[in-house]
Amino acid sequence: MVDHAVAVIGLGSMGMGAARSCIRAGLETYGVDINRDALGVLKDAGAAGVSENCGDFAERLDSVVLLVINAHQCRTILFDMGLADRLRPGTAVMVSATMAADDISDIGARLGNRRLIVLDAPVSGGAAKADAGDMTVMAAGSDDAFSSLAPVLEAVAGKVYRVGSRLGMGAMVKIIHQLLAGVHIAVGAEAMAMAARAGIPLEVMYEVVTNAAGNSWMFENRMKHVVDGDYAPKSMVDIFVKDLGLVTDAAQSLKFPLYLGSTAYQMFTAASNSGHGQEDDSAVIKIFDGIDLPGNR
């Protein structure tokens, strides 16, 4: 076993994969979530401990990985619930939730005041890459942060991009990435909806695109859900309402025009407003009326 104790907080599709990857890499791995089923799964996978409250083993840890949804959840866990005050000085905190650059800067300053080491480290790759220890990490922080978290980064990531030393730079790279991801899903849904309106079998359209120049990773991954009529959430519509909202806010702060991103944001917001917010983000296709989708027949 590697002499490094890490707690992964947030055992959703990405967090569970990251925690399993840490276990396979020989790290002393703890898991934290309010979902008791997820805790049981990780315990069976070989976790050193699981809990609904990280305070149960905070003093044993060398590092913490926050794989929750947003900045509010990070602040709640770290400060309102008191985790930051329970960690030993010098513990490294890897903040991997998607958030605004100002949020991670604020969180980092508050953790720094407690003599904790912070890495601004959003991740991408989806559940499959998380489970394979092959995520992409876009990280910013000090040399000490990268050094302290090296065992964790080696366990969970296929690629680690060091984008700078200033906290917030990693967050901004992730926000710009989410602009692309959201637009790709939205335009993929629009293309498949147009195919449905034209009477083209969606499985045929999907095969053509995934073997031609118009393909993207997001089209190939998400539009397969449409073809299968399966909207069980891997990443929800409401996640992209949040993320594209962050994109919009960042663009406004930069006085930067956002032509396609603004449209994609409205499409996901419309899908959420129509009751699809908790479905897979591919359910943005359901905003198009008068089309026959698999699963609706």
**pLDDT, tens digit, 9 for 90 and up, residues 36-75:** 999 999 999 999 999 999 888 999 999 999 999 999 999 9
Q: Which architecture characterizes domain 172-287 according to CATH?
A: Orthogonal Bundle (1.10)
User: Where in the chain are the domains?
Assistant: 2-166, 172-287
Q: Residue 287: how many CA atoms within 13 Å on its side-chain side?
A: 21
Q: What is the pLDDT of residue 152?
A: 98
Q: What is the pLDDT of residue 55?
A: 87
204 closest CA partner among 223, 186, 232:
223
Query: For the chain, which ranges sit under pLDDT 50?
Result: 297
154 closest CA partner among 135, 139, 173:
135
- Dihedral (Cα; 124, 125, 129, 131), 10-degree rounding: 50
- Tell the CATH superfamily of the 2-166 domain: NAD(P)-binding Rossmann-like Domain (3.40.50.720)
Tell me the two tokens of residue 233. Answer: 């959430």
Tell me the pTM: 0.93
Rounded to whole angstroms, the Cα distance separating 225 from 228 reads 5
The residues that are catalytic are: 174
Rounded to whole angstroms, the Cα distance separating 188 from 140 reads 31
